[in-house]
Structure 1
């Protein structure tokens, strides 16, 4: 769609939002964060890709669910999700729950 990151964040009210990477402690690897984040997001039946900018190495996306917007950057170098604090809290709680379940069942 060709929007810059700043334009996407502004358009969806996320220019002052916070990052998921900063909401989890240092014991989480980036690959775990990506894996669990996508697992949690896919549990929302109304998850919808609203906007995107894609390149050869990956892309930047705006998704919506439950009336909220999240910005995701997912490329060969990094992964991060940006959202309002209340949305981050919800996602982090569910990711921690999945992580505990995985380690408990191992």
Structure 2
């Protein structure tokens, strides 16, 4: 496991900027929900939570927005583990919100 971390190259300034931007969006979503004067809505809360997980997925994988040429054949093989978990949560929360909307 230690040998894996030794081969990881440090993030570039652009990758840090993209990651910081997605983290800022993920922080702005709950703040805007708290400051709004709308009543609590479970479906809207699920939507906000799923958007936060989507921001986390992109924050874990900034090369997606920086690299001009992506090899789409090996795209799924190069997704980082944290990004895979966040994308899975996003899909699960989106499906759950769909069921909540159908039940309402």
Length-normalised TM-score, structure 1: 0.29
- Greater C-alpha radius of gyration: 2
More strand by share: 1
More helix by share: 2
